[in-house]
Amino acid sequence: MEFVSGYRDEFLDFAALLFGWFRKFVAERGAVGTSPEGRWRQLEAQIRRLPQDPALWVLHVLPNRSVGISLGQGAEPGPGPGLGAARLLGDEPPLHLRDLSPYVSFVSLEEGEEGEEEEEEEEEEENGEEEGAGTKKVETEENGELAPSSRESPQEATPPGEPEEAKQEAGGGEDGQEDRAEDEPGPERRKGRRSDAAPLHLSCLLLVTDEHGTILGIDLLMEGAQGSTGRGSGAENLAPRAYALLCHSMVCPMGSGDPRKPRQLTVGDAQLHRELENLVPRLGVKLAKTPMRTWGPRPGFTFASLRARTCHVCHRHSFEVKLTPCPQCGAVLYCGEACLRADWKRCPDDVSHRFWCPRLAAFMERAGELATLPFTYTAEVTSETFNKEAFLASRGLTRGYWTQLSMLIPGPGAPRHPRGSTPSLSLLLHGDPYQPFQGDGPALMPPVPPDSPRGLFGSWQDYYTWRGLSLDSPMAVLLTYPLTVYYVITHLVPQSFPELNIQNKQSLKIHVVEAGKEFDLVMVFWELLVLLPHMALELQFVGDGLPPESDQQHFTLQRDGPEVSVRPCSGVSARLSSGTKEKGVRRDLQIKVSARPYHLLQGPKPDLVIGFNSGFGLKDTWLSSLPRLQSLRVPAFFTESSEYGCVMDDQTMAVATGGGTSPPQPNPFRSPFRLRAADNCMPWYCNAFIFHLVYKPSQGSGARPAPGPVTPAPTPTAPPAPARRRRGEKKPGRGSRRRR
């Protein structure tokens, strides 16, 4: 697939951005560092002419004593293009953090290199460091040992910058790896350590941010670059590097915005502050009188989501080149006409932009429809500049299931559980199934209404009204999964498969295929018992992306009392309180787990198959799983985060089985959060569209398949011309859209 915006871990985009900026910084720092003094004077003069940023800038100094980077087979050593970074920026970048584990891993420099010891030490460091800061970003652990120092203010404990280069260690990378991929299985982690070379030591991280948390620049001091972790030896090398970093951050800010200089700069290290006293004024920047000793993050401080974009062809970031969308479709970003023409003429034809341009233009026309939602925060969360991290932090959504939506890690006191070990069971012992949804403020989910729903809900507003939720509540972001299942059962299956009479069934067996994030949020499906109180439901999560240790787990959630009972066996039974006494018979929600591809699953035939944001073209196992579904011929519904994904799924279904998919329709229970897209401007939302599989008729059946996706607009023959030349092309372009 050409675009992976809705499927790739956001953390990997973040890491690629950090590495891309650092690589450019290293190259330019070397060029300037070896040039005559006149080159430095020109650069300083250029910075003095820059507009002033009213925000305070902060130079963080983050030492690391205990964690090293071990490179696996195929990774190149050194802070340059090695550390497996080519796999972050290449034509086939990884989709999940665990995909980098064969190339990069983290080892303890104090206790040895055993995976188990390393992971325990990381947890201890992280817990120690988190003690004053509520919620932190992905790279906190490295500062844990230096809490009393000025260079470790609560804000510094958050730098998400490190994960980048090989997920540059500093602990953040490691924490991020632990939380987002939730500790890959031991064998995979050890595979990444198969290198005879000694582990690299990232002795110190220099990070430039503004007071709002936007990352503006980063520098890594590897091995002996600083001499040691302390400031005693090698201190003379730190001031020139810090000064070069500040200059580059002003001329080429990583996070967002045009080149600019700060009104005032503060430094998180006393000795470095003294060394910069005579250098910083040369840039026309005021240095704070004292180092950053008592300054801490403001109440709403968070490392802001970075909005840097990339060219779809050459992958260069917006801080390197000016990016503009295709003048005809407005969907794809390019750094210039050369990349646009190269993409236009790609072979085979069906992967070229010439083929996709009119189709993408039609997809772009759905942006307004997808952003039409009833919530009070709709305008903010559907914007292309949506800052998800700031939104979550400002509402105290920094624990429980909310950490699955961002690069934040749980704050102090938040329960942690290894991925796949009966998720959330420890959270259920209090008898409250909604505890994982809780933030730092008041309860987000009101008590269950005493009466069952009298009608069918077809929109978020109808559901929110019945459930007693305010339209300012962000719960739709989590509840999109159970509400999508509810919508399929109550609306789509009766429309497309009326002969099944599914609404009158007393029990349903549902397979959730290629499950991943949905299993990590398993307790959100408890809401199905509230919406469908007359049904006993069995959800079986299937997929080779599930943790192997979860394979064959089975537990039952029951709405018949406040007590919780746990049986020490392969099955777990938890009785939960719904907040009200139930009338009539008891209904259960059974959860089963099968950590294997769907085509290898053995067992009874399900009543319904559902997949979330599936991306058929991204995993080879779909070429076997789709024929398996064809042989079962059960209703199978799938969601996608964009219409582009729906078209690709239809093509994959045709290749795998000779069948197709139904025309996709917007999902009324899609997530309101717009997903970040690095190389395009298309609207991406979790569970945005929904369709079902159309199976190839069996021989001699005489049945006609349901219609597939609408025939796309004709393909243009020439690349889009500059705006002044497009006057003659407007009519054909508009006509094709009307025909579609």
- Rounded to two decimals, the pTM is 0.77
| Residue with the two structure tokens 């772009």 | 364
Residue 303 backbone class (left: φ over 0; alpha: ψ -120 to 50; beta: rest): beta
State residue 227 phi and psi, 5-degree precision. Answer: 95, -50
Mean pLDDT confidence for 104-109: 70
Mean pLDDT confidence for 247-256: 87
- Range in 109-118, 174-183, 250-259 with the lowest mean pLDDT: 174-183
* Distance of alpha carbon 321 from alpha carbon 340, whole angstroms: 14
pLDDT tens-digit series, residues 673-682: 999 888 999 9
pLDDT tens-digit series, residues 360-383: 999 999 999 999 999 999 999 999
State residue 427 phi and psi, 5-degree precision. Answer: -75, -15
State residue 340 phi and psi, 5-degree precision. Answer: -60, -45
* Distance of alpha carbon 519 from alpha carbon 228, whole angstroms: 43
* Distance of alpha carbon 39 from alpha carbon 47, whole angstroms: 13
Mean pLDDT confidence for 488-516: 91
Highest mean pLDDT among 85-94, 147-156, 158-167, 311-320: 311-320
Please tell me which residue, 18 or 330, carries the higher pLDDT value: 330
- Range in 380-384, 567-571, 599-603 with the lowest mean pLDDT: 567-571
**Average pLDDT over the chain, rounded to an integer:** 74
pLDDT tens-digit series, residues 523-547: 899 899 889 988 889 999 999 888 8
- Range in 145-159, 175-189, 313-327, 534-548 with the lowest mean pLDDT: 145-159
pLDDT for 184 equals 39
Task: Indicate the pLDDT class of residue 132, thresholds 50, 70 and 90.
Answer: very low
Task: Indicate the pLDDT class of residue 255, thresholds 50, 70 and 90.
Answer: confident
**In residues, how long is the chain?**
740
Going by C-beta distance under 8 Å and a sequence separation of 6 or more, which residues neighbour residue 444?
A: 434, 437, 438, 473, 474, 475
Residue 356 backbone class (left: φ over 0; alpha: ψ -120 to 50; beta: rest): alpha
Three-class secondary structure of residue 601 per DSSP: coil
pLDDT tens-digit series, residues 63-79: 877 777 776 654 444 44
